[in-house]
Amino acid sequence: MTQARDTVLGRIRDALALAPTPAAVVPRDYRTGRTLPDAERLALFTDRLLDYRARVHPCTADRTAEGVGDLLREYGVRRIGVPAGLDARWLARYDGEVRQDDAAVPPSRLDDLDAVVTASAAACAETGTIFLDGSPGQGRRALSLVPDLHLCVVDLSTVEVGVPEAVARLAPERPTTLISGPSATSDIELERVEGVHGPRTLVVVIRTDA
C-alpha cells in the first residue's frame, strides 16, 4: 500500500513540475481612503461595539487611568495581567495585583488572572473590530484570549472607517489578532454562549483625543 501511494504521489509531483501553475494575480482594487469626522467615526465604532455586547467607555487621554481603575473595580478585578510594554500610567488608579506577562509563562497560568489590560494597534469603525499586532503594549495572543475579561485601550486616531484602511496600519510581518466583541458562539439549539474561545467580557476604553 505504501509503495503504491508513493508511486501515485511521485507521478503527481512529476506532472506538476512539467506544467507549473502560473502565479495568480490577486486584485487589490479595494475601496480605500474613506474618512469620517471624529464624532461620526466614534459614534459608528461605539454602535458596532455595543451591538457585539461589548462595554464602551469613552474618555480623554488624561482620564485613562481613572477610567481603567474605575472599570476594573466595578468588575471586582483583583489580579490583572499586562504585556511588558503597557503604559504603566494607565494603571495608576488600580490598586490590585499586576502581573507582567512573559513568554515563559504557560497559558494555563494565565487562567489565574481575573482580567487582562492591553493597548491596540488599530480598529475598524464599520465592523467594530479591534486589531492587536503583538507589539509591546499588546503582548502575545494567549494573554488576550485566556483571561475572562479583556480591557482594551483604543486611541480614536487609530480607528479607521473600513477594513482596508485599518489593515493598512498594520505591519504584515507581525501576528494579528482581530477582536469583534466578546468571544461568542451558539450551541446546537442556537442559544448564544459567551466565553468559549476567549474572554466572556470585552471592555473598550476609547481615548477620544489620542
Rounded average pLDDT over 178-201? 84
Strand partners, 23: none
Mean pLDDT in the chain?
93
At 134, the pLDDT band (50, 70, 90 cuts) reads very high
At 100, the pLDDT band (50, 70, 90 cuts) reads very high
What whole-number percentage of the chain has pLDDT above 90? 77
Of 184, 174, 190, nearest to 51 by C-alpha is 184
pLDDT of residue 1: 62
Residue 143 neighbours by CB under 8 Å, 6+ apart = 81, 83, 101, 110, 116, 118
Of 58, 52, 15, 18, nearest to 38 by C-alpha is 58
Query: pLDDT at residue 196 above 80?
Result: no
Quick: pLDDT tens for 77-90. Answer: 999 999 999 999 99
pLDDT of residue 15: 85
Total residue length of the chain? 210
